[in-house]
Every structure is written in structure tokens, then in C-alpha cells.
Amino acid sequence: MSVTEEIRKKATLWLGKEFNEETRKEVQDMLVNDEKKLVDAFYQDLEFGTGGLRGIMGAGTNRMNIYTLGMATQGLANYIIQQCGNTGIKVAIAHDCRNNSSYFAKTTAEIFAANGFEVYLFESLRPTPELSYAIRLYGCQSGVVITASHNPKEYNGYKAYWDDGGQVVAPHDEAIIDEVRKITSVSDIKFTGNSENIKIIGAETDEAFLAEVIKMRLNPEVIKEAANMGIVYTPIHGTGIKLVPPALKMFGFNNIISVPEQDINDGNFPTVKSPNPEEPDALRMAIEKAVETGAELVMATDPDADRLGIAVRNKEGNFILLNGNQTCVLLIWYILSQYKEKNKYKGNEYIIKTIVTTDLLHNIADGFNVEYYNVLTGFKFFAELIRKNEGVKKYIGGGEESYGFLPGEYARDKDAIASCAIFAEAAAWAKSKGKTVYDLLLDIYVEYGLYKEKLINIVRKGKEGADEIKAMMAGYRNNPPATINGSRVKTLIDYDKQVSRDLITGKESPTGLIPSDVLQFILEDGSKISVRPSGTEPKIKFYFSVNTKLESAEKFEATEKELDQRIADIISDMKLQ
């Protein structure tokens, strides 16, 4: 794209006196010296979507800065006033370790204060789940966390929450977007107001949050026996350092080994290629430390500490990485097994998973006679369901394949703090039985079936790429394959049309979920393929799940290879690689 007159006109507006000197200087430099950067910064407006804002930091309408953030905050404030009146409104604000996060959080607080709100602002960086908890603790109508999760260092973001501590869902999400779009000028933003409306919070909120986390502990006596079990933990430069080590110590673990270079809060993430616990490199230094110290368990959390990565020792004593499905399976199985062992069931318990998370969780829930729910991708749907069931049914755990888990109702977003502590407890429990976590995973596979999953992303950039992705979805939706890898397609679930269709009998049934552009093919051999365009990136995601019976732990490797080959054959048959 060349620099059009419209882009240059938009950029020139940012030279006005309502913008600060730093911003004006950066825009002027782009106008004179950097055409490509100018186009990227102004060719569109950074969109406030159902998940808030996320973008590269810098000056411009398509960048994350105090002005795009300010317009989002003013729109959100206007909506809150519409819904709740203009007196007695309270909001909570937290931020992660990223560059400018503290600045963005303070700016957000000042805008809310200028709108007459009482603001609870964390004194320094804090995990996202603690923000979720604080909203309910302080009786807030809304909240914001400044984070771009595990994105590269150039990014930052803004996530909006409602009064239940969950990210906003319908009808609030679209209504907030409408209000944000009405803010068309920086002059519409109330940047300055009464600073006395801002209350700084910190240690007292940490203590209250950890008091809820400790309630998730199920086996203090087992932990006592394994108190010196070596656990390496890394926050990957992020907020987890604030609460994960204290939570582990509260649970009763004494031998928590740090990776000093990664304990340092640094938005440049200097020790990793990506601060993403899904990436093997993010856990490399922690695994090296575990090998050096003889530790039994490795844990890592992403910058805002809502997702966790785990490494455990295999039969040979070497560390292997668990994927998000495996971590979720182990946590759910452990919680359900202990509820049963300790006669804690009341008969109204349930778990939640997303539609692209392993169906092994269904088998486990059925095995313990516990209700389970499938929801669309995103923990906001967990929060919505927990709110709906509150006081009637008890949520005891749930997670997603993308490394997120929540073990109780105290927060309404995924929480790596409590998840780390409970996973360590599960490892201690396994040890008390003469087993490792790896042994435990194989036992689960033998009892409930071996499930193997794989995710591939196909990137298609630009308008042509977006059109190609739409065409792919239309093709799968309107002309579904009769067979995949020699197995007949038994069921097509179209979440956008909210219909599950038996392709053999033609019988249809509702999904029971709101529309979402996701397709699933269920094959006669039990394989499942899910297809979903990304909502934030120029790519389409394919999730593959296959399964079979595992006769014994000794046959795990051979059986796993068979499933790996089945996935490879499915991918080849669908001509995806």
C-alpha cells in the first residue's frame, strides 16, 4: 500500500496540540522519513473487539498508545454509566511486565477517575487472575488488565472485564464496542480528573487472593511428606513471580528453585525468543536448572500468569514437555479422584472444557459420574457458565488446550497461580504412591483411552489471504468431505449455524452455543478435526484429535506412534501440508 492522501491526512491530525510532544515527534518523523511505518501506523484504526485491544505499541491509529487506549477507556466508561448510573461506580485495574504497561494502567485509572469512578489500581504488576478476583472482592462494576499475554515484546493490550470478574460477553461486548466507536476524537477523552478517586492496592489484595488459592489444596498431609521435592519455577520475566512462589510455599513446598535471570521483570523478555509457555524454548533455561539441581518438576507461566507450561521426567528420567491437553487432563483427573477419595461430592459438581480441548476429559468426567460442559474457545465463556450455575451447581475445574486452567470459582479467568500449586500437589500425591507424574498420565491413558492432539496454523496474509480463508471455510461448510483418511465423516458440527448434522441419517440437533465460525468433522473411527479462523491473526487453525485404546503402559510409545501417523495421514489427505 502506498501512502495515500487519506493516510497522510490522518497522520497530520496527530501533530495537533492535544497530542503529547513525544507522539508528535514520532509522527513527524514517519511523515518525513518512513513511509512504510507511516502506512502501518495509520492505514486502519486499532479495533476494540470482544476481547479488548491488542496491538504493536507506538504512535498512530493502528497502534497501542494512550490515545487508542484512551478512546477505548472512555467508551467503556460511557457504557458503564449507561448500565449502572453515574454514582458509586468502582473499577479495578492491573498490568503485567510489558513495556509501557504501568504507564497505560495509570492512564486508564486517570480516565476512569475523571469520569467520577472509584478506581482500585494495583501498586505494581500483578497477574490477570488476581485482577479477576479483585473485581469481585471490591464490588466493582468493571475492570481492566493491561497485557498482551504471550505476544512478542512489541505488543501490548487491554482486556475489559465485567462485574463477575469475567471478560465481557454478550450483550455487553458488542454494546461496549458500539460505545468505543462513538469516540471519534481524542478531545472526547477525559484524561484528567480527581486523583483522590484512585486507591492504590497491593499486599492486602495478594493476601486475600492467596487465602482463596490455599482453599484449593486437597492433600496437606501428602505435601508434608514431599515438602522438599525439587520444583523449578520461572515467571519468564512476568507477573507470576509475585504469587506463584508464595502459593507453592503456602501449600507446603519448601524446595522452590528459581531461574534468577528470568525472575527479573523485563518487558523485552531478553532470555527467550517468545514468552510463551507453549514454546519449548521458553522452558529451556528452567529445564537446564532442573537437570543441574536434580529437581522433579518444571513450571513456567506467561507474562500475565494466566497460562502455565509444565515439564516432567519420563521413564528414562529425561524431561519432556506436557501440552495443554495433558496438563488439563492431569489436573482434572487429580481433582476428581481426590473428591471421590475424600467423599467431597455433593452430586452437583461439574467441569468445563472448550470444544477444541481433548475429549479425554469427557471420558474422565463420565468415569467419575461428574457433569461436563463444552464451551466455545475463550475463558469468558467459562465465566459466563459459572455465573449462570452459581448457587445451583459447583464448578470444580476446567481448562483449554492452550495451556489455561481454573480450579475453582474464586476467580473467573484462567489462573496459573493455583494451577501450579495444585499440579505440584498432584506430583506429590503420585510420589506418595511410588509413581511419577508421567506414570500417572500413562495410567489415565490405560484406563480412559489414549488421545493424541495436534494443532497446525495456516497463515494467509493480506486481503487476498483473508478472502482465501473465507473461501476455505465456505468450501468445508457447503461441501463437507464424505471421507477423511479412509474413514467416513459421520457428523458435521457447524457452530456458526448452531447445528450438528448427522451426515449419514441427515438428523440435525442444536449446538446450544452462540454462533461462532468453527466447523468440526467427527469421523467413524473417532477422529475429530476442528477448523477455526483466528479472530486476531491472519491464519486458519486446524485441530486434530485421534484416539485408541491403550492396552498397557509398556505399549504407550508404539501406540502413540500409530496415532501420530494417523494424524499425519489425515493432514496429508486434507492436503494441508
**Residue 83 buriedness (CB in 10 A; 0-12 / 13-18 / 19+):** middle
Compute, in degrees rounded to 10, the torsion defined by CA atoms 81, 140, 165, 410: -160
The partner residues of 200 in beta bridges, in order of sequence, read 121
CA 408 centroid distance within chain: 16
Q: Which three cell numbers stand for residue 398?
A: 476446567
In what helix (H) or strand (E) does residue 404 lie, and over which residues does it extend? Answer: strand 404-406
**Which residues touch 93 (CB under 8 Å, ≥6 apart)?**
105, 108, 109, 112, 119, 120, 121, 122, 131, 143, 144, 145, 146
Instruction: Report the catalytic residues.
Output: 149
E runs forming strands in 110-226: 118-122, 142-146, 155-162, 198-201
Do residues 139 and 90 make contact, with C-beta atoms less than 8 angstroms apart?
A: yes
Do residues 335 and 407 make contact, with C-beta atoms less than 8 angstroms apart?
A: yes
Query: Which CA distances in Å does 16 have to 10, 22, 532?
Result: 11, 12, 42
Closest CA to 330 of 233, 420, 213, 220: 420
Dihedral pair phi/psi, residue 316, rounded to 5° = -85, 0
**Which residues touch 97 (CB under 8 Å, ≥6 apart)?**
125, 237, 238, 239, 265, 266, 267, 303
